[in-house]
Amino acid sequence: MSTVTFLNATLVLPDRLLNATTLTAESGRIRDIGRAPTTGGTTVDLGGAYLCPGFIDLHVHGGDGADFMDLTPAAFEAVCRCHARHGTTALTPTSTVATYEQYLGFLRLCERFTGTATGGARVLGGHLYGPYFLREAKGCHPDAEFLTPDPARDDQLLAFAGRGLVTLTVAPETPGTERLVRAARAAGLLVTAGHSYATFSQLEAAIGWGVRHADHLFCAMSDRARLRPTQTYPMRGGVLEAILYFDEMTSEVIADGKHLTADLLRLAYKVKGSDRLCLVTDTMRAVDCPDGEYWFGPDGSGELVRRMDDVGVTRDGKALASGVMGMDHCLRTFHRLTGAPLHEAVRMATLTPARILGVDAEYGSLEVGKAADLIVLDAALTVKGVYVGGEKVA
């Protein structure tokens, strides 16, 4: 592997900016910070530009015309290359609602690509997203198989833990979910709550089982205003209130400027803070594509949605349907709309998701010994260079 030294860099650290300094990457890792460069290798003078850890996206479905649920190696590589152009150096491929056999195919490809060069972002492992949703809260996902927890079937999926599967999303109110969550946690998975109309008390119980994260705050989840009093869904606090209340819970926001208004982003930032709230793109295949209709999920058998006005919408235009903008756009938008200091906004796209996933010893910050996953941003926070393991990929 090559050696590259960045001169005159403004390092974006988790707690501050460090001006006019030097960083050297060698053999895929950060070797030195602040020392004079040694001879040999490549030298890059940044002229004061920002040098950041690479973005980590915990919730991403597709990009550049491809979806992870297309279930081909070419699709995986295309999505990883696409998001690398937007500064993402590591991600967790995220499934959509599909069939059981498609879930298995997805996990097999996640296993294949975890730890393997993609030409773009690293694959950290798969995010199994869809089997255990509440059907009524499916959002724009295809109306395919919604699984009720079943030990035999669950264990076949959980067998991929540690070899291609790192995250599992559940609707905690579904009968049998406690056993599934406890088994997933015992297998080392991050278990998240999402696409759920659980009550406050149901999510509180799920926290006791080991649920620690919630997908896309404010989206496809119950809250008091949305839950109408019925025998099934009484008028009580829901998932939203529980996420904001319990310090044990981390969450994420789609900061594309379309899914959430500035006031909701500011609320989430104030209550959860930059250590318990991360940025995600939740993007489908229309990233870097023209406006038009695209399949969300498997090509030809998912759900048709439209890209328009820099967001995905349902075909009737009445509801949002996934994101279409990269993490660089989300960083710029969150920083602008909330007024968060730059180092905190960057932390929410780097170290915080790394900690949530439990990979912060390897990724997420500029520290000697960590992986040299680096991005260069100019003053406008536009991506000017992307390095994965010290190798330039964009």
216 appears as a binding residue in the annotation: yes
Q: 153-176 burial by CB neighbour count: b if 16+ within 10 A, else e?
A: ebeebbebbeebbbbbbbbbbbee
Residue 5 exposure: Cα atoms within 13 Å on the Cβ side: 16
CA distance 212 to 348: 17
Three-state SS for 227-295 is CCCCCCCCCCCEHHHHHHHCCCCEEEEECCCCCCCHHHHHHHHHHHCCCCEEEECCECCCCCCCCEEEE
Active-site amino acid positions: 282
CA distance 142 to 98: 7
CA distance 248 to 203: 12
Question: Quick check: 105 and 165 in contact, CB under 8 A?
Answer: no
DSSP state of 36: P
141 appears as a binding residue in the annotation: no
CA distance 293 to 297: 13
Q: How many residues does the chain have?
A: 394
* Angle in degrees, CA 316, 294, 129, rounded to 5: 95
* Sequence-ordered alpha helix ranges (H) in the chain: 73-84, 100-113, 151-158, 177-186, 200-209, 239-245, 262-272, 327-338, 342-347, 351-357
Sign for the pseudo-dihedral over CA of 173, 176, 177, 179: positive
Q: State the Cα torsion 203-179-152-189 to the nearest 10°.
A: 70
Binding site feature residues: 195, 216
Binding site feature residues for Zn(2+): 195, 216
